[in-house]
Amino acid sequence: MGQVRRAMVAATTTLAVVAAPAAAVAQREDADRLGLQERLDDVVAAGAVGALAEVRDDEDGVHRARSGVAALGTNRPVPLHGRFRAGSITKTFLATVVLQLVDKNRLRLDDSVERWLPGVVPGGDKIKVRHLLNHTSGLFDFRRTLQLPPSPEFLEYRWRTWTPAEQVARAVARPPRPEPPGTVFEYSNTNYTLLGMIVEKVTGRSYAKEIERRLIWPLGLSQTTMPGTSPWIRGPYPRGYAPVDRGGEKPDLVDFTEMNPSLFGAAGELISTTKDLSTFFAALLGGHLLPDHLLDEMKKQGVPGGRKYGLGLAWIDTTCGVRAYGNDGDALSYQSWAFTSEDLRRQVTVVATPNFDGDPDDAVEALLDEAFCD
């Protein structure tokens, strides 16, 4: 879902959590050659209950490391092949499906929202599919209409089922940005909720079914699911937490592993593993899912001065000049980063379960930089 966690951290910087003993284990003895274990320990020290990292290299194979614990109050290590809520990495999957439909001439990037969803969005005749993909529609983010942690009202959403129409209605009840669509980047989950609705209108199947039949099943992503309204994470996984203010001096950490993911929907419901995300991004950036001209469109920045973000695809530029494409995800109690170098030689995926006692972003950035620059 993205872009909210920093505000949550700022609101809970004094959060006290039980110190968790490190359970740092490298899958291969040479994992530390990449500095992977040390950097992952830094991520946990910066503000996580547990963390997992995987580096795939076309010459050296796979390196995995873990740090912290899988659950507070235990010594259980984070499972090396554990599943997690991937948050906004879902957007890259959905964007790929949208572009596959463009490739088949069933949809156009310059189609208006009004064409496919008449009457749903005021001014939808001026908002194009492209603007939804690259977050330049100007539409208000429905997530900003919700009570978010550490507000205790947030817990009322835990088992609630949300519909896309309901989320969009909350968003369009707020005014959009004053600038014309396509001119200003502003991250909004509403954009991808609408894209999910458009995919269903075009295909007659839900966005989740289209992601499954076009991406998950063909790529053999056996540990990746679109859970819909199911609150469970199947298989091994670390537990995730959210800060909740219950009237004490400091917020409490509440186990928020099980929850109804319709809260995230098309903008972030995906559950996956480091291996499956690496497989997906290798296929996407290797040209196996889209023709070159559409993959090139995916890599183009929407507007100057905005985030390094194209059509559902983000990128980072490291200190050594390596560019890596991928995305990051924030599912409140899980945070993830998955990037692949432009030359496809190295892939890095990081997962953390935050404790909201700090901000691990800088530590993750350092890990990514070192992993790609080694």
Mean pLDDT computed over 48-56: 97
Token pair 């390596």 in the structure block, residue: 322
Residues facing 328 on adjacent strands = 337
Structure-derived torsion over alpha carbons of residues 100, 302, 109, 270, reported in degrees to the nearest 10: 40
pLDDT over 70 percentage in the chain: 91
Half-sphere exposure of 136 (CA within 13 A, CB side): 24
Residues 245-270 as b/e (b if ≥16 CB within 10 A, e otherwise) read beeeebbbbbebbebbbbbbbbbbbb
Mean pLDDT computed over 361-368: 97
Whether residue 67 has pLDDT greater than 80: yes
**Residues 69 and 50: beta-carbon distance below 8 Å:** yes
What confidence tier does 19 reach under pLDDT thresholds 50, 70, 90? very low
Mean pLDDT computed over 93-116: 98
Find, among 135, 301, 158, the residue nearest to 229 by Cα: 158
* pLDDT for residue 29: 40
pLDDT tens for each residue of 242-284: 999 988 888 899 999 999 999 999 999 999 999 999 999 999 9
Average pLDDT along the chain: 92
pLDDT tens for each residue of 139-159: 999 999 999 999 999 999 999
Q: Helices H, strands E: what count in the chain?
A: 11, 11
289 is written with which tokens? 């899912």
* pLDDT for residue 59: 87
Find, among 44, 57, 19, 92, the residue nearest to 350 by Cα: 44
pLDDT over 90 percentage in the chain: 86
* pLDDT for residue 185: 96
273 to 76, 131, 310: CA distances (angstroms): 18, 29, 24
Whether residue 23 has pLDDT greater than 80: no
* pLDDT for residue 34: 65
How far apart CA 325 and CA 343 sit, in angstroms, is 10
362 to 44, 154, 280: CA distances (angstroms): 12, 27, 25
pLDDT tens for each residue of 313-339: 999 999 999 999 999 999 999 999 999
pLDDT tens for each residue of 215-246: 999 999 999 999 999 999 999 999 999 999 98
How far apart CA 120 and CA 7 sit, in angstroms, is 30
Domain ranges (residues) in the chain:
5-373
What distance, in Å, lies between the first and last C-alpha atoms of the chain? 30
**Residues 46 and 237: beta-carbon distance below 8 Å:** no
- Looking at residue 95, the DSSP 8-state letter turns out to be H
pLDDT tens for each residue of 188-218: 999 999 999 999 999 999 999 999 999 999 9
Residues 6+ apart with CB under 8 A from 234: 83, 225
Annotation says 341 is catalytic: no
Whether residue 81 has pLDDT greater than 80: yes
Output the 3-class SS for 344-369: CCEEEEEEEEECCCCCCHHHHHHHHH
Architecture of domain 5-373: 3-Layer(aba) Sandwich (3.40)
Max mean pLDDT range (3-12, 30-39, 310-319)? 310-319
pLDDT tens for each residue of 160-186: 999 999 999 999 999 999 999 999 999
How far apart CA 242 and CA 208 sit, in angstroms, is 26
Candidates 88, 188, 272, 336; catalytic one: 88
* pLDDT for residue 304: 81
